[in-house]
Amino acid sequence: MFEYSASGICPDKIFFDIDDEGRLHSVKFEGGGCSGNLKVIPKLCEGMPASNVMNNIKGIACGSKPTSCGDQFARAIEKALEHINQTQTHS
């Protein structure tokens, strides 16, 4: 389970898993935010390739904010994939 401390959005934490095939599972936002949106994102991402989701939602802003829940999730995925790649490289 990956945990990401979000910034600039309502939720303060994002939790998720990436399986051996690079697919997302068990996505959860914690600490506030738009309840409907934060239920939709995990359902849309469940079982999807993490890299595809990251590329599709990275850079999305929320109103006048320079980031969004989706953008923060993309950043979290990016860090997780970097960690996975480093772990596999050093194994």
pLDDT band for 91, please (50, 70, 90 cuts).
Answer: low
Q: Is residue 90's pLDDT more than 80? A: no
Domain count, the chain: 1
What is the pTM (predicted TM-score) of this model?
A: 0.93
Over residues 40-88, the pLDDT tens digits come to 999 999 999 999 999 999 999 999 999 999 999 999 999 999 999 998 8
Taking the alpha carbons at both ends of the chain, their separation in whole angstroms is: 19
Q: pLDDT digit string (tens) for 2-31?
A: 999 999 999 999 999 999 999 999 999 999
Choose among 81, 70, 4: nearest CA to 40.
70
Residues 6+ apart with CB under 8 A from 35: none
48 and 24 Cβ atoms separated by less than 8 Å: yes
Phi, psi (deg, nearest 5) at residue 23: -105, 145
Nearest to 16 by CA among 3, 7, 6, 5: 3
Range of the domain at 31: 2-89
SS3 label, residue 63: coil
